[in-house]
Structure 1
Amino acid sequence: MRLFCLVGYALAPLLASGTILQNGQVRDIVFPDTSIASVNSNSNWTSFAPNATEISYKGRWDSKHISWWSAPGLKFGFTGDKVAISFGQYTSPGVLIAYRFAGQDWLFTNVTANSTHQLIYSSTLGFNLTTQSQRPQTFELRVTNYAYGVQIAGIHLSRDAKLIKIPNFSKKIEVIGDSLSAGQYGTFEGLSSYAWGLAEGLGDVEFDITAYPGICLVDQDCWGNAHGQTYQWLRTPDTSSRAEVIYGDNPPVWDFAHHQQSDIVVINLGTNDNNTHNNVTNEKYLSSYIDFVGQVHQKYPRAQIILISLWNGFNQVGNTWQQGGAFVEEIQQVYAHYNNSGFVHYFNTTGILQHNDIGPQYHPTDVGHVKLASHLMQYIKLKFDWVFGATGPEVQADTLYWNDEPNY
């Protein structure tokens, strides 16, 4: 399960390129090289430390400003006409980041340790279209790779420019999961996942995606992950090898009290527990899940918790296909255990995905992720009266396909 997606991330002297398969065909894609020389002693820039209060970190970051889990990022407002970021020594080699100015589409580039990248210019698309009501100008960055991360060493703006704090949205959603939620094998991994599509699709909400490939719910080794989510969710870093290098066997505990509380928590765990390779019994899974829901409720006492049923792929049966399942009765038993609490809900995925929504590596395609996200959005709207707040900015990159042949 600890495999990299079909996008190859490597730095080239001038341009960084990757391979994305689209219906079995290679899609041409080239990521621009945004690296520049260090700006520390350049009087044409104004620099800010990574702990500047105007910077809003999204997802889980540690005290060294190192990112963890799926699709972590940052956001801030700024004056001036350029933005550059310096990345520290704990930045993974060739990690792919997504970034955007205001509500423009996501752009992508590869970064590496001890480098500086200029990401916004006065010529950036949409920059000169900013109206007075759209100020302050905003910048957002997200890490796409689930196993990689960045360390922020500094933010650089135009000379005499200022950072501006962008207030958090009042609502927050969190998705806790494994590779299915982290977007493994999606075009842009975290930014192609259903978890990302759900949160971004809802619009004006904050979100965390605490998901990592191969991880079990039960606290045991699964596919090289030393711990399951019943342990790791309470920690700041994920179970990656870089976390082991930085923290060893003593990862820092996540300080829930000093971060915005989640209003909705979506749990999608058990696919790895269900694999016979990991030897998790049905009884252990059930008891661990009941305990884990209690843990989540303790940390987020006002949150509504949604349990997702596991679709577990498709099998060919005779001349057609049939959806599989995993821990079907156990997840329903967890729901029944908390049925009278009022804060636990069950989301049945049966029938949402079809066999061609699953890629060759047993994970949803980009279309599969979009379908699941869309159904979850509608479920949350109907169940909790949340409105769809996304009103134009791109949600999932590179999904604009159409046929313009009138005589097809």
Structure 2
Amino acid sequence: MLPLSCLNFFVKTLLIEMRLSSLISYALAPLLTSATILQNGQVRDVVFPDTSIASVAGGSNWTSFPPNATGLSYKGRWDYKYISWWSAPGLKFGFTGDKVAISFGQYTSQGVLIAYRFAGQDWLFTNVTANSTHQLIDASTVGFNLTTQAQRPQTFELRVTNYAYGVQIAGIHLSNHGKLVNIPDYSKKIEIIGDSLSAGQYGTYEGISSYAWGLAEGLGNVEFDITAYPGICLVDQNCWGNAHGQTYQWFRASDTSHRSEVIYGDNPPLWNFEHHQQSDIVVINLGTNDNNTHNNVTNEKYLSSYIDFVGQVHDKYPRAQIILIALWNGFDQVGNTWKQGGAFIDEIQQVYAHYKHAGYVHYFNTTGILQHNDIGPQYHPTDVGHVKLASHLMQYIKLKFDWVFGATGPEVQADTLYWNDEPNY
């Protein structure tokens, strides 16, 4: 692999970021109906079951609910049309009966990969598409017959894995006479604001393989949003085909994807912060794309925009603690070893210094957490790299803010169970 200098790291990502932001089209979307996952250079055999069924509308064996039914809890950012946006948005609810099916509306991306699970079982995967219905739970689902009285109600959770694509919920279907059961939100919430590094670009399952996902799910018993999208800058300007930076887009329900342009043009709906749970911790990891000379963001513009943005985040979440992540920016090969790069080092520390007296802004130094082999061939963290960063952030938050680790069993990141069973190796 070629040395990853700070310059080459970003120059070489030009086509990668543009592919996601400006070249994605619905004509290409059917490619998502199958997937190739490489594991140490070897193809992993992945078969996603076909869960599609005929429409259940009016069926006597089902009880149907609209997308705004009481008991449905939408996770992450969804708009008023029940269309999902950004990274790893989800839907969770309790239910009675022995089956669950979901109808997806016309604004569902072709072949988008979703993860879903029953209760605390491992994640399952399937591809869904527009104007279709998929049965995701039945009596044969692993763990279904293991539900104890103390664990009731039965829960279902869905997450969208593909950050540039999404689903539209058109209806929920349960067994005949089945009921939705409200699952209360957790009292704490964390939000991660970022770009491709936080959205999980080139992770095995993208959004749900990212460090942002690992951090939030690893903490457990917390609500979370991952408002991250590949190629986006902090500064409000066009970067890699993204029409706006986070200083504009974070205040909108939708991201900067092509499908957002198709649905909303240049007038995406605002995100109603007052109608959603406030974040207690906000992690900001922005600047990788600003630092690329292709985007012509000056150090001065980045600094002033970051200072303003932190203030705006605090205005929306006045009780939140805000963590600024230092950019690791790839690795250089120096002589016979490797050295971690950096970007906007002074500027991010100046943002921290600007707010230090207020007490709600904190600086997280990433130096030494990742090594050069934690960066994949496409210049983004491997699954292992994401796990390492998430683990360090979890420990930082535990020590800094006295948050406990609440994840006590259910799978956090899918398909990471690797081991050597040769005792004499």
* TM category, shorter: over 0.9
Which residue in the other structure is 2:35 paired with? 18
Shift of 1:407: 1.2
The equivalent of 2:80 in structure 1 is: 63
Say whether the 8 Å CA contact 1:80–1:158 is kept in structure 2: yes
Is the contact between residue 310 and residue 326 of structure 1 (CA under 8 Å) also seen in structure 2? Answer: yes
Give distance in 2, aligned partners of 1:78 and 1:167.
13
Per-residue CA deviation, residues 235-293 of structure 1 (Å, 9 max, x unaligned), is: 00000010001111111110000000000000000000000010000000000000000
Deviation at 1:377, TM superposition (A): 0.0
1:54-92 CA-to-partner distances (Å, cap 9, x unmatched) read 100000000000000000001000000000000000000
SS at match of 1:369: helix
1:76 equivalenced with 2:89 (yes/no): no
Q: Does the 8 Å CA contact 1:359/1:365 hold for their aligned counterparts?
A: yes
Q: Which has the higher helix share?
A: 2
1:10–1:110 CA contact under 8 A, matched in 2? no
Superposition deviation, residue 36 in structure 1 = 0.2
Deviations 1:380-401 (A, max 9, x none): 0000000000000000000000
Q: Which has the higher contact order (CA 8 A, sep 6+)?
A: 2
Q: CA deviation at 1:3?
A: 3.9
Partner of residue 204 from structure 2, selected from 187, 199, 202: 187
1: CA distance, partners of 2:308 / 2:416: 39
Q: Provide runs of 4+ in structure 1 moved above 2 Å.
A: 8-12
Q: Shift of residue 224 of structure 1?
A: 0.2
Superposition map of 1:276-291 within 5 A = 276-291=293-308
1:254 matched residue in structure 2: 271
Distance 1:270 1:158 in 2: 48
Deviation, structure 1 residue 11: 7.4
Q: Deviations over 1:190-229 (max 9, x none)?
A: 0000000000000000000000000000000000000000
1:236 partnered with 2:253: yes
Alignment map for 1:2-401 (pairs within 5 Å): 2-3=18-19, 10=30, 17-401=34-418
Runs of at least 5 residues in structure 2 that lack an aligned partner in the other structure:
1-16, 21-27
CA separation in 2, counterparts of 1:50 and 1:122? 24
| Sequence identity percentage | 87
- Contact 1:10–1:18 (Cα < 8 Å) also in 2: no
Q: TM-score, normalised by structure 1?
A: 0.97
Q: Partners of 2:294 and 2:111 in 1: how far apart? A: 32
1:100-146 CA-to-partner distances (Å, cap 9, x unmatched) read: 00000000000000000000010100000000010000000000000
User: 1:178–1:269: 8 Å Cα contact kept in structure 2?
Assistant: yes
User: C-alpha displacement at 1:406, in angstroms?
Assistant: 1.1
| 1:18 Cα offset (Å) | 1.4
1:52 is matched by which residue type in structure 2? Answer: A
Contact conserved, 2:97 with 2:174, CA < 8 A, in 1? yes
> Secondary structure, in 3 states, of the residue corresponding to 1:155?
strand
CA distance in 1, matches of 2:215, 2:393: 7
Partner amino acid for 1:311? W
Report if aligned partners of 1:169, 1:206 keep a CA contact under 8 Å in 2.
Answer: yes
Cα deviation 1:304-353 (Å, max 9, x = unaligned) = 00000000001111111110000000000000000100000000000000
- Code of the residue aligned with 1:248 in structure 2: it is G
Does the CA contact (< 8 Å) of 1:191 and 1:396 recur in 2? yes
Letter in 1 for 2:66: A
- What amino acid does structure 1 have at the position aligned with 2:211? Y
Give the structure 1 partner of residue 14 of structure 2.
none
Distance (whole Å) between structure 2 residues aligned to residue 406 and residue 356 of structure 1:
26
Figure out how many residues of one structure are paired with residues of the other and give that number: 402
Secondary structure class of the residue paired with 1:39: coil
Code of the aligned partner of 2:179: K
CA RMSD in angstroms, aligned pairs only: 1.1
Per the TM alignment, residue 402 of structure 1 is displaced from its structure 2 partner at its CA by 0.3
Deviation at 1:17, TM superposition (A): 3.4
Deviation at 1:53, TM superposition (A): 1.7
- Give 2:150's aligned amino acid: S
TM-fit CA distance, 1:2: 4.0
Give the Cα separation in 2 of the matches to 1:41 and 1:49: 13
- Structure 1 residue 42: Cα displacement: 1.1
Task: Name the amino acid aligned to 2:285.
Answer: N
Q: Report the AA paired with residue 67 of structure 1.
A: S
Residue pair 2:83, 2:169 contacting (<8 A) in 1 also = yes
Q: Which amino acid aligns with 1:114?
A: N
Q: 2: distance between equivalents of 1:64 and 1:401? A: 40
Does the 8 Å contact 1:215/1:228 carry over to 2? yes
Between the aligned partners of 1:130 and 1:349, the Cα distance in structure 2 is 42
Work out the CA distance in 1 between the residues paired with 2:45 and 2:149.
38
Give, as a single letter, the amino acid of the residue that structure 1 aligns with 2:46: I
